[in-house]
Chains A and B, each alone.
Chain A
């Protein structure tokens, strides 16, 4: 019971720090920074991932090769290492110091880009082969078929997986802590350093916040997944279509 009181006390004393960090007196932090970092990360990683998936599925080895290599490297290396690489390499490459937020964002774009590209690729290959055949038979180029026929369906079917990946991204932003990115975990760290005696309460609050955000999104993803599965079953090609279409009319 005292635990609960302590926690409520900590939250009511520090809610602004948890929400936006030291903003407006310092950089934006807290949940706001975590969410912005995740949203920007996914949003920028998304076009990259589509390009990479198309490259991996393209008939041209020149494109297939580098995209495949990047995916394998990123999947085989811990995220923490990629953060450190970007942290030390990016300033060297562009010749000036880079804020932690930008370092973390760049890392997330590379990392999520590689993982999302695998999701996009799976979404494309999950479509019936007849879709590509039909598009090619009508005279569409490979890319035209992708653009007008394959990707609109694949991306729609992938919405739940993309949300799941977004949830992972939110959790991954916590690693920005090691390069002092002012996000939610960093804010909690500051509170803990100030209070000194209540680490259990502070990190319990932190866990609850992450849990609520991620759980809500996961729930949303599974709801969407069910809806999409229903739609996909109804629009399925082939022999099952007449029966299913008949069933859906009644």
Chain B
């Protein structure tokens, strides 16, 4: 299911150039150089604490960096920009969290409608129409009037995806979107993500769902101790991982 866009002429959507990040004296990201091309699906994997969340959160500047340049769709994310420009940039980067982070005081429909209305200034009637379409796309139009607490984890995560899509982002970031789910709910969320990939969405997914990576990803990035140790096609990464840490990681994963 590899995308056309992964050929080398495609323009980059996300560029990491010499990114370094520290938490105090702890190096969380060490000289990251990589790019996600338009239409590409990149899966980021690596052991716990390797810096995957930190990396993906630097893309929409939920985390600051200490050095390097990070471009999203050509725009320098960590430059000195006005907070207005920063908010606008963030609104164009879909982000899905491990813990869903739906707004519990709002209905499912209002969760999806809130930002198009309040951030983009879209009319409520129009936003409602779009929101209902998106909820239909993730298979949850019947839950529009429910509150997040009345939904299963898998349903909540699908609403979270619809909420991110409502801002019509050119790219979507996923930070372990299925790790908080009961096993029987993982499939429904991955199915939505597969659909997005099929429609050509640029995606950067931190996940340990190796079947998803094999089927959907154009590239797999392997991180360890803040470094990006390997970037390979899924077949190369799963068939013959180069780095010893990657080999150990994969054998640990299979042993589980």
Q: Separation in Å of the A180 CB from the closest CB of chain B?
A: 45
**When A138-B91, A138-B164, A141-B83 are in contact, do A235 and B99 touch as well, CB less than 8 Å?**
no
Instruction: Name the interface size band of chain B.
Output: 35 or more
Q: Is there contact, CB below 8 Å, between B90 and A153?
A: no
Q: Separation in Å of the A97 CB from the closest CB of chain B?
A: 47
* Tally of contact residues, A, Cβ under 8 A: 34
B156 to chain A: which residues have CB within 8 Å?
241-242, 245
**When A234-B149, A238-B180 are in contact, do A133 and B119 touch as well, CB less than 8 Å?**
no
Chain B: which residue is nearest A133 at the CB level? B62
B160 to chain A: which residues have CB within 8 Å?
134
Q: Is there contact, CB below 8 Å, between B152 and A246?
A: yes
Chain A: which residue is nearest B83 at the CB level? A141
B162 within 8 A of A: no
Stretch of B101-109, B213-221, B236-244 contacting A (4+ beta carbons < 8 Å) = B101-109
B150 within 8 A of A: yes
Q: Is there contact, CB below 8 Å, between B90 and A239?
A: no
Q: Is there contact, CB below 8 Å, between A137 and B60?
A: yes
A236 to chain B: which residues have CB within 8 Å?
104
B102 to chain A: which residues have CB within 8 Å?
134, 237
Q: Is there contact, CB below 8 Å, between A237 and B99?
A: yes
Q: How far is the CA of A236 from the CA of B147 in the complex (A)?
A: 12
B118 to chain A: which residues have CB within 8 Å?
140, 144, 148
Q: Separation in Å of the B242 CB from the closest CB of chain A?
A: 34
Contact with B along A131-154 (1 / 0, CB 8 A): 101111111111010001100110
**Pick the contact of A140 from B87, B104, B180 — CB < 8 Å?**
B87
Chain A: which residue is nearest B92 at the CB level? A139
Q: Is there contact, CB below 8 Å, between A235 and B147?
A: yes
Q: How far is the CA of A55 from the CA of B42 in the complex (A)?
A: 41
B92 to chain A: which residues have CB within 8 Å?
139
B164 to chain A: which residues have CB within 8 Å?
137-138
**Pick the contact of B105 from A137, A152, A234, A241 — CB < 8 Å?**
A152
**When A149-B103, A153-B104, A237-B100 are in contact, do A242 and B182 touch as well, CB less than 8 Å?**
yes
Q: Is there contact, CB below 8 Å, between B93 and A137?
A: yes
Chain B: which residue is nearest A243 at the CB level? B182
Q: Separation in Å of the B183 CB from the closest CB of chain A?
A: 11
Query: For window 24-53 of chain B, which residues contact chain A by CB distance below 8 Å?
Result: none
**When A138-B90, A138-B167, A140-B119 are in contact, do A133 and B152 touch as well, CB less than 8 Å?**
no
Contact with B along A226-250 (1 / 0, CB 8 A): 0000010011111101111110110
Q: Separation in Å of the A137 CB from the closest CB of chain B?
A: 4
**Pick the contact of B99 from A130, A138, A153, A249 — CB < 8 Å?**
A130
Q: Is there contact, CB below 8 Å, between A131 and B101?
A: yes
Q: How far is the CA of A4 from the CA of B172 in the complex (A)?
A: 75
Contact with A along B155-169 (1 / 0, CB 8 A): 010001001100100
Chain A: which residue is nearest B181 at the CB level? A242
Q: How far is the CA of A136 from the CA of B88 in the complex (A)?
A: 10
B181 to chain A: which residues have CB within 8 Å?
242
9 extra interface residue pairs, beta carbon distance < 8 Å, beyond A130-B99, A138-B167? A136-B62, A139-B115, A139-B119, A140-B87, A144-B118, A235-B104, A238-B180, A242-B180, A243-B182
A-B contact pairs, 26 of them (CB 8 A): A128-B99, A134-B95, A134-B103, A136-B90, A137-B60, A138-B164, A139-B91, A139-B119, A140-B87, A140-B118, A141-B83, A144-B118, A148-B118, A156-B105, A231-B149, A236-B104, A241-B99, A241-B153, A241-B180, A242-B180, A242-B181, A244-B149, A245-B151, A245-B153, A248-B149, A249-B150
